[in-house]
């Protein structure tokens, strides 16, 4: 059973991708999988969740912090690092059961070994140990400390910063443009050196004999508002505590697949990437690129509710609950967005940050050739986000039985979202309500009418309103609105036979397959949608749209309808979003197309291992990890191939595994208890409680 991601060669071409692949995080802090000698050009990143900042009129984005693990070695005055010489031997490794990164690099004069953890027992901590062995005798110099030259996409975010040396401990004190105070402190044990305040670094020189070793232990801490003390425990204890805690987190969501080693590892790796983003302590959500950088402004999209939430419902319902509480906490932002656009109720941000106000801007995409802005309308027209949240709340309650969350504000979210859809819709002369001028999950076709996904999800919101919100708890005026919502007669999207028109006029567009359309690409970074995109006037879509609907609401569509729509949209879908494959897999499983479903599953489960995803949308860098695709792979396996359904905590399976898989054993949490189910290829399964 492989549980290590190991890379045995050094490839400078892969620096950015490796930063994602070897990411460490604990829900609060993230540290990219980079090497000690790297700087901002190699996208070194220490990211903090939930703290955002805007510099001038630039995009408001999540905050990146100074790097406490900077270390560079010199021999006889010459830098010895992967940036100056090809290592003779090189290996980096991520132990996904310990959340531990290690590195081994041998150069002529010296060998570097290091290890690093972003602590799971104290989420403000990160620690590292670096050991250098002299392969030759001579003069060595080491530079180490806090690298203040931060990689930021839309910074600088610190309008004021200082770095002081207090007895071998460095303390960075920064004030952001939005007046947030952040401290990063780090103690450096094992070396002593001269401190250079401007660079924030220590310099330590010494003569070492051949075979002699030095070690540096770094304990770093990130605090907001107030500087707090570093822990008293030594490095070894902190390391042990983190591994133990991560192990406990993992205990409740392990998966083992018999008969498919590659998938077994990819699923374990996907689980790792989801698990390191969950925060049990805070009412927080998860950004589309997790804690791997500032792509997409560190914002939260529908990715969380539709993909990550069902993962956490099984892996850790407490975190799932926090994801919903975050939407409750940001309801005012959603109301404000609706009001500012002239609507009632709650229109959630397409890109949501700390307050829930819209972070998405119309200049989200640029033309790769001219560099000019391609105006997009994601922030104002992708209204399905509000319905997705309500859908997720309903599914969460159904699975866990946690109706208490309704009284904690989820009922208000449902009601306000219903009001929003009522005010956004247009009733025609026949009393039928249409939804005009929106963008569906297929983002290439903007500002379309009667978009199938959006209409169906709006209809579902009203059903959930009836099911979850009690009218007698409403004021008289609210009650009137409630019944108006329930009485809406929603338009049906047009159809050709069984095939649902993604939006009004979709079938009139040029019918071309993805491969043929690709030939029209001028620049590989071209944006296919919007005003001038090559897909805009064709039936080629970015990602699962109608197919997502079939995946999310299978009970609403008969099998022949599912089949015809799946077959129609599949060749017309570019899969230009990492979210697309897992939705296709879920539908393919239902249709008995297990081989096709398996391919889609592997496309999601290997996404960050392959690193083949688009790095640019227009001229904008969109790289990073893909937690929703990672979660999507888990959904395909557990909810798809194993057919898991959960009702008030009770689990049932309907197993349809690809023929080469013998069994899948998985764990989940329910009411503080961990259960393990072994599902066999022949459809049988057994469940047991796991002693903790
Ligand atoms: O939420 C997605 C969207 O559906 C496609 N573009 C990227 C977003 C973030 O993952």
User: Which atom in ligand 1 lies closest to the alpha carbon of residue 289?
Assistant: 10
Question: Domain 330-531 adopts which CATH fold?
Answer: Glycosyltransferase (1.50.10)
Distance CA 30, CA 26 (A): 7
Measure the CA–CA gap between 631 and 187, rounded to whole angstroms. Answer: 36
Strand order in the sheet with 29-31: 24-25, 29-31, 46-53, 61-65
Report which ligand 1 atom has the smallest distance to the Cα of 302. 1
Banded model confidence at residue 111, pLDDT cuts 50, 70, 90: very high
Q: Is the pLDDT of residue 296 over 80?
A: yes
| Tens-place pLDDT, residues 657-684 | 999 999 999 999 999 999 999 999 999 9
The pLDDT assigned to 167 comes to 86
* pLDDT (0 to 100) of residue 620: 67
Give the H or E element holding residue 416.
helix 411-424
What are the residues facing 64 on neighbouring strands? 47
Q: Which atom of ligand 1 is nearest to the CA of 577?
A: 5
pLDDT band at 616 (very low <50, low <70, confident <90, very high): low
Ligand 1 pocket test: pick from 290, 293, 296 the residue with the most ligand atoms within 8 Å of its Cβ: 296
4-250 CATH pick, 2.70.98.40, 3.30.300.180, 3.40.50.300, 3.40.462.10: 2.70.98.40
Average pLDDT for 614-634: 84
- Binding pocket residue ranges, ligand 1, CB within 6 Å: 288, 296, 301-303, 441, 443, 577, 579, 628
Spatial distance between the Cα atoms of 107 and 88, rounded to a whole number of angstroms: 6
For residues 335 and 356, give the distance between their C-alpha atoms in angstroms, rounded to a whole number.
9
* pLDDT of residue 168 exceeding 90: no
Q: Whose CA is nearest to atom 5 of ligand 1?
A: 577
- The residue whose CA is least distant from atom 4 of ligand 1 is 441
What does the alpha-carbon distance between residue 407 and residue 400 come to, in Å, rounded to a whole number? 15
Q: How far is CA 13 from the centre of its chain?
A: 24
Averaged pLDDT for residues 21-31: 98
Nearest-CA residue for ligand 1 atom 6 is 577
List where CATH 2.70.98.40 sits in the chain: 4-250
Q: Could you say which DSSP state residue 342 is in?
A: T
Beta bridge partners of 664: 257, 679
* Burial annotation 106-116 (CB, 10 A radius, 16+ → b, else e): bbebbbbbbbb
Q: Taking residues 415-424, report their average pLDDT.
A: 98
**CA-CA distance, 50 to 322, in Å (whole number)?**
13
Res. 386: pLDDT tops 90: yes
Angle at CA of residue 334, ends 332 and 337, nearest 5°: 110
Mean of pLDDT over the chain:
96
The DSSP element (H or E) to which 495 belongs, if any, is strand 495-496
User: Does the structure show a pLDDT above 90 at 135?
Assistant: yes
Q: What is the mean pLDDT of residues 427-441?
A: 98
- 8 Å CB contact between 661 and 335: no
Token pair recorded at residue 689: 């409680």
pLDDT at residue number 113: 98
Is residue 200 scored above 90 in pLDDT?
Answer: no
Supply the DSSP symbol for 640.
I
Burial 224-260 (b: 16+ CB within 10 A, else e): eeeeeebbeeebeebbebbbebbeebbebbbbebeeb
Over residues 517-567, the pLDDT tens digits come to 999 998 888 889 988 899 999 999 999 999 999 999 999 999 999 999 999
Flag whether pLDDT at 367 surpasses 90: no
Average pLDDT on 266-292 reads 98
pTM of the model: 0.97
- pLDDT value at position 243? 98
Q: Which of 161, 152, 198 is nearest to 181 (CA)?
A: 161
Q: How far is ligand 1, taken at its centre, from the CA of residue 43, in Å?
A: 22
The reported pLDDT for the residue numbered 619 is 59
Residue 143 has a pLDDT of: 98
For the cut 80, the answer to whether the pLDDT of residue 233 exceeds it is yes
The single residue of 443, 502, 574, 613 carrying the catalytic annotation is 443
To the query of whether residue 443 is one of the catalytic residues in this protein, the response is yes
159 vs 156: CA distance, rounded Å: 7
Q: How far is the CA of 553 from the centre of ligand 1 (A)?
A: 20
Helix (H, G, I), strand (E, B) or coil at 403: coil
Kindly report the backbone phi and psi dihedral angles of residue 368, in degrees, each rounded to the nearest multiple of 5, phi listed first: -65, -25
Model confidence at 613: pLDDT above 80 = no
Residue among 21, 72, 19, 73 nearest 46 (CA): 19
CA torsion, points 531, 537, 541, 545, in degrees to nearest 10? 90
In the predicted structure, residue 326 carries a pLDDT above the cut 70: yes
Q: Are 573 and 585 in contact (CB under 8 A)?
A: no
Domain with CATH 1.50.10.10 in the chain: 330-531
Of the pLDDT bands very low, low, confident and very high (cuts 50, 70, 90), residue 136 is very high
C-beta of residue 685 within 8 angstroms of C-beta of residue 664: no
Q: Which atom of ligand 1 is nearest to the CA of 579?
A: 4
């Amino acid at each position: 059973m492989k549980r290590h991601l190991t890379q045995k060669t050094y490839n400078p071409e892969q620096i950015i991708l490796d930063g994602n692949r070897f990411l460490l995080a604990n829900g609060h802090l993230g540290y990219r999988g980079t090497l000690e000698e790297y700087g901002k050009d190699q996208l070194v990143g220490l990211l903090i969740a939930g703290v955002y900042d805007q510099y001038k009129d630039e995009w408001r984005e999540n905050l990146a912090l100074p790097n406490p693990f900077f270390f560079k070695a010199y021999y006889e005055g010459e830098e010895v690092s992967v940036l100056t010489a090809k290592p003779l031997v090189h290996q980096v490794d991520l132990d996904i059961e310990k959340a531990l990164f290690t590195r081994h690099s041998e150069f002529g004069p010296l060998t570097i070994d290091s290890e690093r953890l972003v602590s799971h027992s104290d989420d403000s901590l990160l620690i590292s140990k670096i050991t250098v062995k002299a392969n030759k005798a001579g003069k060595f110099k080491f530079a180490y400390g806090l690298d203040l030259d931060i990689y930021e996409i839309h910074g600088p975010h610190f309008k004021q910063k200082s770095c002081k040396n207090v007895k071998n401990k460095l303390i960075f004190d920064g004030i952001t443009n939005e007046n947030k105070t952040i401290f990063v402190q780090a103690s450096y044990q094992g070396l002593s050196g001269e401190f250079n305040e401007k660079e924030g670094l220590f310099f330590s020189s010494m003569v070492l004999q051949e075979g002699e070793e030095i070690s540096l232990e770094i304990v770093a801490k990130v605090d907001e508002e107030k500087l707090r003390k570093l822990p008293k425990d030594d490095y070894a204890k902190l390391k042990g505590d983190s591994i133990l805690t991560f192990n406990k987190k993992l205990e409740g969501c392990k998966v083992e697949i018999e008969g498919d080693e590659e998938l077994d590892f990819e699923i374990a790796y996907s689980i790792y990437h989801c698990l390191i983003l969950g925060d049990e302590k805070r009412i927080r959500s998860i950004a589309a690129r997790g804690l791997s950088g500032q792509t997409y402004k560190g914002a939260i999209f529908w990715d969380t509710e539709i993909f990550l939430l069902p993962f956490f419902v099984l892996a850790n319902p407490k975190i799932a609950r926090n994801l919903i509480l975050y939407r409750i906490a940001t309801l005012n932002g959603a109301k404000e967005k609706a009001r500012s656009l002239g609507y009632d109720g709650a229109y959630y941000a397409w890109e949501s940050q700390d307050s829930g106000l819209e972070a998405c801007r119309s200049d989200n995409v640029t033309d790769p050739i001219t560099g000019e802005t391609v105006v997009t309308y994601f922030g104002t027209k992708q209204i399905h986000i509000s319905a997705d949240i309500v859908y997720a709340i309903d599914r969460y309650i159904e699975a866990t039985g946690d109706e208490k969350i309704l009284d904690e504000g989820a009922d208000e979210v449902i009601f306000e979202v219903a009001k929003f859809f009522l005010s956004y819709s247009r009733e025609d002369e026949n009393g039928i309500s249409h939804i005009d001028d929106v963008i569906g999950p297929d983002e290439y076709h903007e500002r379309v009418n009667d978009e199938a996904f959006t209409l169906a999800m709006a209809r579902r919101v009203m059903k959930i309103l009836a099911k979850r919100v009690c009218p007698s708890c409403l004021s008289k005026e609210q009650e009137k609105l409630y019944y108006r919502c329930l009485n809406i007669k929603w338009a049906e999207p047009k159809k050709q036979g069984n095939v649902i028109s993604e939006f009004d006029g979709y079938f009139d567009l040029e019918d071309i397959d993805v491969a043929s359309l690709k030939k029209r690409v001028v620049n590989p970074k071209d944006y296919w949608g919007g005003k001038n995109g090559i897909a805009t006037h064709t039936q080629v879509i970015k990602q699962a749209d109608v197919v997502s609907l079939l995946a999310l609401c299978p009970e609403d569509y008969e099998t022949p309808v599912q089949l015809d729509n799946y077959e129609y949209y599949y060749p017309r879908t570019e899969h230009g979003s990492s979210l697309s494959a897992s939705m296709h897999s879920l539908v393919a499983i239902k249709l008995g197309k297990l081989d096709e479903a398996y391919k889609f599953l592997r496309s999601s489960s290997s996404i960050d291992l392959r690193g083949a995803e688009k790095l640019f949308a227009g001229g904008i860098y969109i790289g990073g990890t893909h937690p929703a695709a990672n979660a999507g792979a888990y959904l395909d396996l557990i909810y798809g191939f194993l057919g898991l359904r959960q009702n008030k905590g009770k689990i049932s399976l309907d197993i349809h595994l690809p023929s080469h898989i013998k069994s899948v054993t998985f764990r989940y949490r329910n009411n503080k208890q961990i259960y393990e189910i072994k599902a066999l290829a022949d459809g049988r399964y057994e469940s047991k409680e796991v002693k903790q």
